[in-house]
Structure 1
Amino acid sequence: MISIHDERIQKYLTPYKYTRPVLTGSGIKGAFDEQAVDIPFVFWHGGLYHMLYTGFDGTGYQSALAVSDDLLNWKHKGMVLTRDLDSGRWDGIGGAATWMIKESDSLWDIPKLKKVDGKYWLVYHSYPGMGYEDGPAQIGLAWCEDEELLDWHRLDEPVFSWKDGEEWEAGGLYKACVIEHEGLWYMFYNAKNREARWTEQTGLATSRDLLHWERCRENPVLRVTEGAWDERFVSDPYVVRDGDMWINFYFGLGPGHAQEGLALSTDLIHWEKADSPILTHGKPGELDCTHAHKPSMLYADGRLYHFYCGTRPWQEGDPAKIYQEFRTLCVASDQPFTQGEHMHRETLKNVTFEEG
């Protein structure tokens, strides 16, 4: 275990939280994000910051893009993965998009998209049943040639499934991130077992072509720690590089709260975890007083941004509600936000996208 005070990890810490949500569910009846938003993935494309994110409407997940010019104020751009119940597809109920293939795996490079075989690629997972994460999910890929990133084509079948996995992942697969290193694709994913009070841990699979994956023999490569703050979940990997060191920002769940953690590796297989959360849940009433989890990292203009999903009990006036909870997207940083940044301002006045 690495001490949270270890000098090696101080530059990765983001203790300063923005006090407003950066994106919320709409609360609009029938909208894809009627009840909640979730799972941010932030990158730069076409002259604007983009956020890939998921919405929940009571039936299942669907995914969209939002854009920003300052990383704090975001506007919905359009849908990328929608529902098609009549298709008969394995992912007809919808998809939770979690990752897009990037040009660089360095933490200190602004994330930009990389084309593979002339296409942009998106990673998502889909559940077989209607409702909140109903049934064991599988992982799929979608591709896009459209520079607006709105015309996505899903592969016909999952590229990675729990069906040929082990007991620890037999309950289904969740968020995956994909990086390339020395000509090999690495997919980190979290999965759950079948127990009623289940455990989630993080596995690794590798591929030469993004389509055929081989599990690491040492799976799960990031495991829960008995009696620790992450004793039930080690989930939602976000893997980046800092020189010769690999960093995995993840979330852990222990008694009552999900919080963000960090692990280091020199070979992408053997990981050493920090002994405490690097981003804790908030105080009562704050946006993340229940959970602070599901990281997406971005370094820009000398500042490290840490996007995540925050949850707290629903309050009168909140725009959306899922199971008596307000689930929203938040951001923290390695530097304090100024008073002006905390004040709302209108942005993107001259940018028009589809509504929804």
Structure 2
Amino acid sequence: MVGVRAGEFRHIYDPSEPDRRWYINDHTLIQDADGRWHLFGITHPEPPDPFDETEFAHATADDPHGPWTKHPPALTVDRERGETHLWAPFVVHDGDRYFMFYDGGGTDRTATGMGLATSTDLFHWTRHPDSPVFRDGYDARDPMVRRIDDRWVMYYCATSAPTGGNHIVAYRTSPDLLHWSDRRIAYTDPATGTGAGNTESPFVLRHADAWYLLIGPRPDYAGTEIFRSDNPFHFDTSDRVGHVPAHAAEVITYDGAHWITHAGWGQGGVALARLLFAR
């Protein structure tokens, strides 16, 4: 059995200003065609106020370890579109465009809108005419998108029924990042509820001959649990192979290794550590 753990976390980026502390929560990192890294994420002054999170942080660096340069917000909430907040961006590249998926909220938390904005340079973003690309609940959020075989797959957290139930990791597939299938379920947790749950921040990666799902907070705020499977569309509680002291964890590949991030309320920005697979 493969065990998974993290090395030492080191802070790489703090968005705070001299007179005010700011946090980064759910976030994403992507490297552009010139090799520069971009970080996008939920941001807000401390103390936390999730329903007042209305802009996405943007920072760049030549190396994910920093130093990072802070830029103006990448996106701000669009009330005219019915957005009530901006949560959990995830960015992928396809063709000549970058696609940013995010939770734009809405007045009905059982039918949250999964928003989409596009860009050609990662600095200037425009909402796609089809945004939101679908709706789901309860507070369906934290999208993570990757290519598996001949299709795009979006994982996100929701509940077994839009009005509540077991916390789950749902997924949908798409041929073009615009048209998405009905949802299916990749993981069902024994815990139940409506809003925040322990299947937040799902991240799916492949290492060697296996698939790994990261979710959290489990069991505490700064806690991410890792599950292993031979099938990227099915994970079970019995598949648990690791625990990392991180919140809103994302994984990047850099310098021939996997690295895992940690951020969140009161965490002093974003930290980075090696993700280690040991037999």
TM > 0.5: yes
Amino acid at match of 2:9: K
Partner of residue 77, structure 2: 83
Are 1:275 and 2:263 matched, yes or no? Answer: no
**CA distance in 1: counterparts of 2:140 and 2:16, whole angstroms:** 24
Q: Where does 1:182-331 land on structure 2 (aligned, <5 Å)?
A: 182-192=149-159, 194=163, 200-216=167-183, 219-225=184-190, 232-254=197-219, 256-273=220-237, 274-275=239-240, 277-280=242-245, 292-311=246-265, 325=266, 328-331=269-272
Runs of 5+ in structure 1 lacking a partner? Answer: 1-5, 102-113, 163-169, 281-291, 312-324, 336-356
Whether the aligned pair in 2 keeps the contact of 1:15 and 1:279 (CA below 8 Å) is no
Whether the aligned pair in 2 keeps the contact of 1:40 and 1:307 (CA below 8 Å) is no
Higher fraction of strand? 2
* Candidates 11, 23, 29, aligned match of 2:14: 23
Are 1:155 and 2:167 matched, yes or no? Answer: no
Whether the aligned pair in 2 keeps the contact of 1:261 and 1:277 (CA below 8 Å) is yes
Following TM superposition, by how much is the alpha carbon of 1:210 offset from its aligned partner in structure 2, in angstroms?
Answer: 2.0
Q: Where does 1:51-66 land on structure 2 (aligned, <5 Å)?
A: 51-56=39-44, 59-66=52-59
**CA distance in 1: counterparts of 2:187 and 2:86, whole angstroms:** 25
Following TM superposition, by how much is the alpha carbon of 1:121 offset from its aligned partner in structure 2, in angstroms?
Answer: 1.1
Amino acid at match of 2:94: K
Q: Where does 1:31-180 land on structure 2 (aligned, <5 Å)?
A: 35-45=22-32, 46-56=34-44, 59-73=52-66, 74-85=68-79, 88-91=80-83, 93-101=84-92, 114-116=93-95, 118-128=96-106, 135=109, 137-145=112-120, 147=121, 149-156=122-129, 157-162=131-136, 170-180=137-147
Deviation track 1:153-180 (CA, whole Å, cap 9, x = no partner) reads 1123311211xxxxxxx32211111122
Following TM superposition, by how much is the alpha carbon of 1:276 offset from its aligned partner in structure 2, in angstroms?
Answer: 6.4
Deviation track 1:21-67 (CA, whole Å, cap 9, x = no partner) reads 632444767xxxx7432112122223322212221255323113211
Following TM superposition, by how much is the alpha carbon of 1:258 offset from its aligned partner in structure 2, in angstroms?
Answer: 4.6
Task: Specify whether residues 95 and 244 from structure 1 end up closer, same or farther in structure 2 by C-alpha distance, changes over 3 A only.
Answer: same
Following TM superposition, by how much is the alpha carbon of 1:243 offset from its aligned partner in structure 2, in angstroms?
Answer: 4.2
Task: Specify whether residues 243 and 76 from structure 1 end up closer, same or farther in structure 2 by C-alpha distance, changes over 3 A only.
Answer: same
Which protein is bigger by CA-based radius of gyration? 1
Task: Specify whether residues 264 and 224 from structure 1 end up closer, same or farther in structure 2 by C-alpha distance, changes over 3 A only.
Answer: same
Whether the aligned pair in 1 keeps the contact of 2:114 and 2:134 (CA below 8 Å) is yes
Deviation track 1:279-338 (CA, whole Å, cap 9, x = no partner) reads 13xxxxxxxxxxx31111123224432112144xxxxxxxxxxxxx55632222248xxx
RMSD (CA atoms): 3.0
Whether the aligned pair in 2 keeps the contact of 1:202 and 1:221 (CA below 8 Å) is yes
**CA distance in 2: counterparts of 1:179 and 1:125, whole angstroms:** 17
Task: Specify whether residues 122 and 226 from structure 1 end up closer, same or farther in structure 2 by C-alpha distance, changes over 3 A only.
Answer: closer
**CA distance in 1: counterparts of 2:189 and 2:263, whole angstroms:** 21
Runs of 5+ in structure 2 lacking a partner? Answer: none
Identity %: 19
Q: Which runs of 4+ in 1 moved over 6 A?
A: none
Secondary structure of 1:158's counterpart equals: coil
Whether the aligned pair in 2 keeps the contact of 1:143 and 1:154 (CA below 8 Å) is yes
**CA distance in 2: counterparts of 1:61 and 1:172, whole angstroms:** 16
